[in-house]
């Protein structure tokens, strides 16, 4: 081969190699956003790269979104409440024990030891109790006893207790002064219990039935859609889309 021809041939080879390298780099740059880095993606992990879908994925049932919807539906089913027939007697027993504790505190001038099951008044309430004359204490205690007894006939859930206390306080003896009304309110808070309790089995059955009616939630992936972004925390829904897109 002539020297000039050989030189031209080598130049051609170099140019061909250069263009091949450039083409490979460009191809990598175009394809890389659509590659998922395989096992590096885990739920709760950090995405090492941004990944876009290389294909259109037709609507498919999403197990992740369906579970989320089922959880929402289950949470929306209210508790099944039934009567707690022992609540009135427990209230009465607690009230008697509380009155005995208060009598000791008034006689001793200080708070006596408190049984584990007894909720004692706050220091502020105890100070107000000790300031009452015997006659006024008898009026306050009889009023509390009357209101607690009437509360036993109310159908009250745990969330309704604050409203019930407010209603009972409105029905209290109008002759009570502000300090005495405050004492009544505090004692009602210590004694009153809900007369309705949750039926766990019935509630669970209703929630299971509601969840069974939830249809599969469909989702899709479009070509070019950014499924995850570099540095983003990976969710279960994103992992599901990666799998459906074949990444």
**Would you state the pLDDT for residue 40?**
73
Which pLDDT score, from 0 to 100, does residue 116 have?
Answer: 67
Closest CA to 221 of 108, 54, 95, 100: 54
The per-residue pLDDT for range 78-101, each reduced to its tens digit, is: 999 999 989 989 899 999 999 999
Model confidence at 16: pLDDT above 70 = no
Give the pLDDT confidence score for residue 84 in this predicted structure. Answer: 92
pLDDT confidence of residue 118: 80
Mean pLDDT of the chain: 84
19-28, 60-69, 76-85, 183-192, range with the lowest pLDDT: 19-28
> Is the predicted pLDDT of residue 218 greater than 90, yes or no?
yes
Q: Considering only CA atoms, which of 108, 155, 166, 149 is closest in space to residue 141?
A: 149
DSSP H or E run through 226: strand 226-228
Using a 10 angstrom Cβ sphere, with 0-12 exposed, 13-18 middle and 19 or more buried, the burial of residue 187 is buried
123 pLDDT more than 50: yes
Residue 228 CB: number of other CB atoms within 10 A?
24
Which segment of 28-37, 111-120, 166-175, 227-236 scores lowest on mean pLDDT?
A: 28-37
Q: Is the pLDDT of residue 197 over 50?
A: yes
Residue 140 · residue 183 · CB < 8 Å: yes
**pLDDT grade, residue 131 (50/70/90)?**
very high
Is residue 2 over pLDDT 80?
A: no
């Amino acid at each position: 081969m002539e020297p000039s021809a050989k030189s031209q041939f080598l130049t051609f080879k170099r140019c061909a190699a250069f263009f091949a390298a450039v083409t490979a780099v460009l191809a990598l740059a175009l394809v890389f956003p659509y590659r998922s880095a395989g096992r590096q993606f885990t739920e709760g992990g950090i995405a090492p790269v941004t990944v876009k879908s290389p294909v259109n994925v037709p609507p498919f049932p999403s197990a992740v979104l369906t579970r989320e919807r089922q959880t929402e539906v289950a949470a929306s089913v209210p508790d099944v409440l039934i009567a707690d027939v022992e609540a009135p007697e427990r209230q009465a027993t607690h009230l008697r024990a509380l009155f005995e504790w208060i009598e000791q505190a008034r006689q001793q001038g200080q708070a006596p030891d408190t049984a584990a099951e007894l909720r004692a008044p706050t220091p502020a309430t105890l100070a107000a109790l000790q300031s009452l004359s015997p006659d006024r204490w008898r009026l306050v205690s009889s009023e509390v006893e009357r209101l607690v007894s009437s509360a036993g006939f109310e159908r009250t859930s745990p969330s309704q207790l604050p409203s019930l206390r407010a209603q009972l306080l409105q029905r209290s003896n109008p002759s009570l002064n502000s300090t005495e009304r405050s004492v009544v309110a505090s004692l009602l808070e210590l004694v009153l219990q809900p007369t309705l309790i949750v039926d766990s089995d019935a509630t669970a059955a209703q929630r299971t039935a509601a969840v069974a009616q939830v249809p599969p939630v469909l989702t899709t992936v479009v070509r070019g859609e950014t499924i995850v972004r570099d540095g983003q925390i990976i969710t279960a829904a994103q992992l599901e889309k990666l799998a459906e897109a074949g990444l």
